[in-house]
Structure 1
Amino acid sequence: MRFEGTEAYIATEDLKTAVNAAVTLERPLLVKGEPGTGKTELARQVASALGLRMIEWNIKSTTKAQQGLYEYDAVSRLRDSQLGEERVHDVKNYIKKGKLWEAFTSDERVVLLIDEVDKADIEFPNDLLQELDRMEFHVYETGETIRAKNRPVIIITSNNEKELPDAFLRRCFFHYIRFPDMDTMRQIVAVHHPAIKEQLLTTALTQFYEIREQSGLKKKPSTSEVLDWLKLLLAEDLSAEDLKRDAASALPKLHGALLKNEQDVHLFERLAFMARQKR
């Protein structure tokens, strides 16, 4: 069971090595990188390449680790007891299974994605240490222990918004997805926009990387954003000549696909103003 990338996902050699190492070690793969570099998509493509079903647990700021195991609805049980409902006698009727329960009890091996773990409270990773390590947890309301029938392939993503606990990091295989260089980006674009003309692609990518390297930028445009931008350029049938910027504006054509806040737009407007002043 090895991951070698897919036709729809360009994986670098070090990324493929990381995935296969995590699978071999049977440890969670912790993937970090700036937003838009394909961390979530990696899990989907690993599942597709290995022929496994994927279970996705999207983490929010309010998510608690217990929700990944199960939730006990004591309020509904109390209400049903007051109404004389027959189902109240079986506590299992009030247990809502979480994503880890689903992954552990699956009859076949699955890929479990724990997406954006750094969004949750700092204690969230620590609260899952034992469950991810032992691949089991106890259900106190029923007295049963849920053990993994088949150890899932676990991929955990983080946008590096906060530091993760050392104890959690020790249990993971770590990989940082570096932002693609020009050659890798060309391969990625070829998957999504195979018919794009070489001159347009070269001009667009040159502008894109110039924007990313601009000092003072609050949010650098990501891979997903350059793909959206190229899609718009193709839809508008723009040529490499159309992308040329004059001194009146340092902003690229259809810049709303790349620059996502007014601070960065104003930055490029100031650069254009300064360039005009020098002329």
Structure 2
Amino acid sequence: MKFKGTDQYVATEDLQMAVNAAITLQRPLLIKGEPGTGKTMLAEQLAKSLDAKLIPWHIKSTSKAQQGLYEYDAVSRLRDSQLGDSRVKDISNYIVKGKLWEAFQADERVILLIDEIDKADIEFPNDLLQELDKMEFFVYETQEIVKATNRPIVIITSNNEKELPDAFLRRCFFHYISFPDEETMNKIVDVHFPGIKKDIVKDALDIFFDVRKVPGLKKKPSTSELIDWLKLLMADELGSSLLQEHDPAQAIPPLYGALVKNEQDVHLLQRLAFMSRRKG
């Protein structure tokens, strides 16, 4: 079954080809792109499209690769031994299975999402090289090998906060989600707001792309922020009238707090608006 997007997710032809190529090659699919361009949602919608279970592993700065395999709870075992608990005789009672173990042991093929891998330590990707390549790992405490019953489809996302090791990149199929053009963005808006008035979408997208073009922005508004902004504008009649009455010479859009996320960018837009008024 080929992935072609879903009724809730607009996948470009390039993205469809990347997903299907990674599945064919049985390689992890490494997805990069601006925050808010639908990298995490891709895994969710791929699972829906293939009718497969999604196992998400959301990475934090404190995450360790070992946690994805398993953890040995030595403290609990020591406490139980002091209390005379008979469970201490079986060390497997104190093995906590991680997300990779869960994915490897699944009865059917699952989607394993390793989300925002670049948040972790630089050694994190290297520590998973063999496990993701061979789809197996060794449990030292029980002397057993955990091998994937059904090879999971692995989706790895990155926001490019850190460079990933070459050895890790070599084992992945890579795709960069380019920011959607206006035509693709129209399709995305239609998915989220079926039946929305075309004139509202046109006015909103004109303003949205104008803001993205402003040089010097620390954080350009993303797709998810556009969706939030449109939701606000459609909440009542005031929103659509604000769009229609918006002066194109003004750099600050109505309800800008949904699009602009830091004070530096707000001040930049305010300066541009002031300079525009002076020229006018």
TM range, smaller chain: over 0.9
Equivalent-residue separation in structure 2 for 1:110 and 1:238 (angstroms): 45
Q: How far is the alpha carbon of 1:278 from its aligned partner?
A: 2.3
Unpaired runs of 5+ in structure 2?
none
Determine the structure 1 residue equivalent to 2:253. 252
Equivalent-residue separation in structure 2 for 1:55 and 1:127 (angstroms): 20
Equivalent-residue separation in structure 2 for 1:248 and 1:112 (angstroms): 47
1:177 maps to a residue whose letter is I
Q: How far is the alpha carbon of 1:149 from its aligned partner?
A: 0.1
Whether the aligned pair in 2 keeps the contact of 1:248 and 1:273 (CA below 8 Å) is no
SS of the residue 1:128 aligns to: helix
Determine the structure 2 residue equivalent to 1:12. 12
1:109 maps to a residue whose letter is R
- Tell me the TM-score normalised to structure 1 length: 0.97
Determine the structure 2 residue equivalent to 1:242. 242
Determine the structure 2 residue equivalent to 1:99. 99
- State the aligned residue count: 279
Q: How far is the alpha carbon of 1:249 from its aligned partner?
A: 5.0
Residues 135-146 of structure 1 correspond to what in structure 2 (within 5 A)? 135-146=135-146
Residues 69-80 of structure 1 correspond to what in structure 2 (within 5 A)? 69-80=69-80
Whether the aligned pair in 2 keeps the contact of 1:247 and 1:276 (CA below 8 Å) is no
Equivalent-residue separation in structure 2 for 1:216 and 1:75 (angstroms): 52
Equivalent-residue separation in structure 1 for 2:46 and 2:250 (angstroms): 43
SS of the residue 2:237 aligns to: coil
Determine the structure 1 residue equivalent to 2:276. 275
CA RMSD of aligned residues (A): 1.3
SS of the residue 1:137 aligns to: strand
Q: How far is the alpha carbon of 1:238 from its aligned partner?
A: 4.1
Determine the structure 1 residue equivalent to 2:181. 181
Equivalent-residue separation in structure 1 for 2:206 and 2:151 (angstroms): 45
1:198 maps to a residue whose letter is K
Whether the aligned pair in 2 keeps the contact of 1:247 and 1:272 (CA below 8 Å) is no
- Tell me the TM-score normalised to structure 2 length: 0.97
Whether the aligned pair in 1 keeps the contact of 2:10 and 2:188 (CA below 8 Å) is yes
2:266 maps to a residue whose letter is V
Equivalent-residue separation in structure 1 for 2:113 and 2:66 (angstroms): 16
1:201 maps to a residue whose letter is V
Cα–Cα, structure 1 residues 247 and 22, in superposed 2: closer, same or farther, change >3 Å? closer
Q: Between the two proteins, what is the percent identity of the paired residues? A: 70
